[in-house]
């Protein structure tokens, strides 16, 4: 396998910074698996994810930032079938 084939097989498009999008995707996927919106969520994140999520704007959020906002948006309006383009 050459480098181009490897990149085409592994890379996925993302809408916005990947850290809040990954959190939103996880929340949207959990809603899909549960079949309903949970009453609470807990996200265990590395320090790097926390740092990046609180410093970048979440796409389609009206300028909002933060872990809670990314998770709530993912759970409420996320489309998990779109993967990292969830919002």
End-to-end CA distance of the chain: 33
Average pLDDT (42-53) is 89
Q: How buried is 31 (Cβ within 10 angstroms: 0-12 exposed, 13-18 middle, 19+ buried)?
A: middle
**Residue 5: is its pLDDT beyond 80?**
yes
pLDDT tens digits, one per residue of 49-73: 888 888 898 988 999 999 999 999 9
Band of pLDDT at residue 48, cut at 50, 70 and 90: confident
Cα–chain-centroid distance for residue 68? 12
Structure confidence at residue 52 (pLDDT): 85
Domain spans of the chain, in order of start: 19-85
């Amino acid at each position: 396998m050459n480098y181009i084939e490897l990149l085409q097989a592994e890379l996925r498009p993302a809408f916005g910074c990947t850290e809040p999008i990954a959190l939103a995707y996880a929340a949207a996927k959990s809603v899909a698996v549960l079949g309903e919106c949970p009453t609470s969520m807990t996200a265990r994140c590395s320090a790097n994810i926390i740092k990046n999520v609180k410093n970048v704007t979440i796409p389609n959020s009206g300028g909002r930032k933060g872990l809670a906002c990314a998770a709530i948006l993912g759970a409420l309006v996320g489309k998990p079938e779109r993967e990292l383009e969830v919002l």
